[in-house]
Amino acid sequence: MSIIQSGQSTDSRQESSTRGLSVNAAFLKDIKDDNRELKHLMDQLTPMTSHPEIAVNHWGEIVGLLSDLSDQLAFHFTLEEAYGYFDHAIETEPQLSMTAGLLRGEHTELFELARSLAEEVAEVPSDETEPIAKFLRKLKKFRNQFERHEEAELELILDALSDDIGVGD
Ligand SMILES: [Fe+2]
């Protein structure tokens, strides 16, 4: 899907940025729903997983939420790739193209991590604080990694957009 267009003139770049930025309404709705759902899942998980003593009392819910999170992330990454902002960044300049490639490459690893956490959580004894604490540390690490990834993507989009509108030129 991603194509590096060679020999673009300023004019053709302008055309491609117009293409890159025009997103149809159905797609926008999917993106909005996905972001809302992800935020909802994370917001539910945060207090329950804030401390092992709290998590013990919510283990069943946490198992269910991590399964939902894994499914939602599968959709989230597919949507991001289909949305095409990677392609847009790739068309914009080589430095952004490299960043876009690296970030897209992280999707597989992040999804595998989410899926293995969703599987692992079901195996943790729900009445033992120590294995729960260990699992929560893993989950926190994953959430930090995912957040850093999302922030880097946002930065990429903003860099690509500011290139388009000539900020700093
Ligand atoms: Fe992403």
2-15 pLDDT per residue, tens: 333 333 333 344 44
As a whole number of angstroms, the distance between CA 139 and CA 33 comes to 24
Which two three-digit tokens encode residue 89? 């960044």
Cα of 26 vs centre of ligand 1, distance in Å, is 20
Cα of 103 vs centre of ligand 1, distance in Å, is 6
Q: Which pLDDT value is given to residue 60?
A: 96
Helix residue ranges, H only, the chain? 10-21, 25-48, 52-56, 59-83, 85-92, 94-121, 129-165
Range in 23-37, 41-55, 101-115, 153-167 with the lowest mean pLDDT = 153-167
- Is 48 exposed, middle or buried, given 0-12, 13-18 or 19+ CB atoms closer than 10 A? middle
Cα of 79 vs centre of ligand 1, distance in Å, is 9
Cα of 129 vs centre of ligand 1, distance in Å, is 33
114-155 pLDDT per residue, tens: 999 999 999 999 989 999 999 999 999 999 999 999 999 989
Cα of 107 vs centre of ligand 1, distance in Å, is 6
Kindly state the average pLDDT of the residues 101-115: 95
As a whole number of angstroms, the distance between CA 110 and CA 143 comes to 10
75-103 pLDDT per residue, tens: 999 998 887 666 666 666 788 888 888 99
Cα of 56 vs centre of ligand 1, distance in Å, is 31
In the chain, domain spans: 23-165
Residue of 167 and 64 predicted with greater confidence = 64
Question: How many residues are there in the chain?
Answer: 169
